[in-house]
Amino acid sequence: MKLLTAFIIGSVFGLGIAISGMANPAKVLNFFDIAGSWDPSLLFVMGGALVITAIGYRLVFGQRTAPLFDKGFMVPTSTQIDRYLVVGSAVFGTGWGISGFCPGGAIPALGLGYVEAMQFVGAMIAGIVVGRLINMRFLKPAAA
Amino acid sequence: MITEFTPYSSLLGGVLIGVAATLLMAFHGRVAGMTGILQGVLPPLSADWQWRAVFLAGAIAAPFVFVNLGGTVDFAVPVATLPLIAGGFVVGIGVYFGSGCTSGHGVCGMARLSPRSIVATLVFMAAAFVTVYVTRHVMGG
């Protein structure tokens, strides 16, 4: 049951990404190209997702102390704004601006069957693995 | 390359993403951050990798089914293979150290008004705007 709901929820997420245009690098890059072929559609994606999630979370947290299938809500509790967060996010944004893909856009794009999505996701996984190795060898104990 | 302005389908897609994020919290108590979910299925596997794997399978299966039932999803990559792959690697490094991406920080974290997520979202959006400006208008890509 737990796996069935996770599959269904993942499907809703993936369908939303595909319909929204987030899985289309041309559209994503045009959103960031204010000085050129600007396409403001992604404002509607972010706006719709944010409003629904904000209301949805309020309802969930207001009515329950735990999720249906687990002992408690696993919500990130850290409030520390450190250099990992800021530099990491700047690096992510740079890669997003180069490629037009973010993780949430690229993984559902795999289902569309385009080789570019596979190339991107393969490289992204390599980046995450290398990040982990750097972290474990040279920096703080494994986090995230 | 011009893309068509699609306020209705983009809003509908955004609403579905929000519904998915709400349901994942209500049923599983987890934030719908693609970076975090993906990391749990990479070695070393997290203890709860199973639900993560089926979530990802669903996220891939739904667009596949949608287009095979006759739905259309516009797709174009106006980027050469080398920058596409380099961008993927850079994204992977960035989301690992930044602890999240557009779905995790930008949707779930901002919805909780998490200061970390608000900062992360402002930073990665700003970086993407600057990168596209530089690649398209300064370097003339």
Its ipTM equals 0.96
| Amino acid A141: pLDDT | 55
| Amino acid A16: pLDDT | 98
Provide the shortest C-alpha distance from residue A143 to chain B (in Å): 9
- CA–CA dist B24, A17 (Å, integer): 16
- CA–CA dist B101, B117 (Å, integer): 9
Provide the shortest C-alpha distance from residue B8 to chain A (in Å): 8
Q: Which of A3, A12, A132 sits opposite B19 (nearest CB)?
A: A12
- CA–CA dist B94, B19 (Å, integer): 27
Neighbours of B134 (CB within 10 A): 14
pLDDT digits (tens, 9 = 90+) for A84-139: 999 999 999 999 999 999 999 999 999 999 999 999 999 999 999 999 999 888 87
Compute the radius of gyration of chain A from its Cα atoms: 18
pLDDT digits (tens, 9 = 90+) for A30-79: 999 999 999 999 999 999 999 999 999 999 999 999 999 999 999 998 88
Neighbours of A50 (CB within 10 A): 20
- For B108, nearest residue in chain A (alpha carbons): A53
The closest of B35, B16, B104 to A19, measured between CA atoms, is: B16
Checking if the pLDDT of A140 tops 90, the result is no
pLDDT digits (tens, 9 = 90+) for B86-97: 999 999 999 999
| Amino acid B139: pLDDT | 87
> Is the Cβ–Cβ distance between A32 and B128 less than 8 Å?
yes
Which pTM value belongs to this model?
0.96
Q: Which of A17, A42, A53, A134 to mutate to test the interface with B (most CBs of B within 10 A)?
A: A53
Provide the shortest C-alpha distance from residue B37 to chain A (in Å): 10
CB within 8 Å: B13 and A70: no
- For B59, nearest residue in chain A (alpha carbons): A14
pLDDT digits (tens, 9 = 90+) for A1-40: 899 999 999 999 999 999 999 999 999 999 999 999 999 9
Q: Who has greater pLDDT, B7 or A139? A: B7
Q: Which of B10, B25, B91 sits opposite A101 (nearest CB)?
A: B91
Both tokens assigned to B141: 């890509």
Q: Is the peptide bond before B78 cis (omega within 30 degrees of 0)?
A: no
- CA–CA dist B45, A43 (Å, integer): 35
Question: Which amino acid belongs to residue B79?
Answer: V
pLDDT digits (tens, 9 = 90+) for B29-45: 999 999 999 999 998 89
CB pairs under 8 A between A and B: 507
Q: Which of A69, A92, A121, A133 to mutate to test the interface with B (most CBs of B within 10 A)?
A: A92
Checking if the pLDDT of B141 tops 60, the result is no
| Amino acid A144: pLDDT | 47
Contacts of A140 in chain B (CB under 8 A): none
- pLDDT band with cut points at 50, 70 and 90 for residue B65: very high
Give the mean pLDDT of B65-90: 97
* SS3 at position A1: coil
Question: Which amino acid belongs to residue B29?
Answer: G
pLDDT digits (tens, 9 = 90+) for B115-139: 999 999 999 999 999 999 999 999 8
Q: Which of A97, A112, A119 sits opposite B127 (nearest CB)?
A: A97
| Cβ-based burial of A15 (10 A; exposed 0-12, middle 13-18, buried ≥19) | buried
Q: Which of A56, A64, A119 sits opposite B18 (nearest CB)?
A: A56
Contacts of B60 in chain A (CB under 8 A): 14, 107-108, 110-111
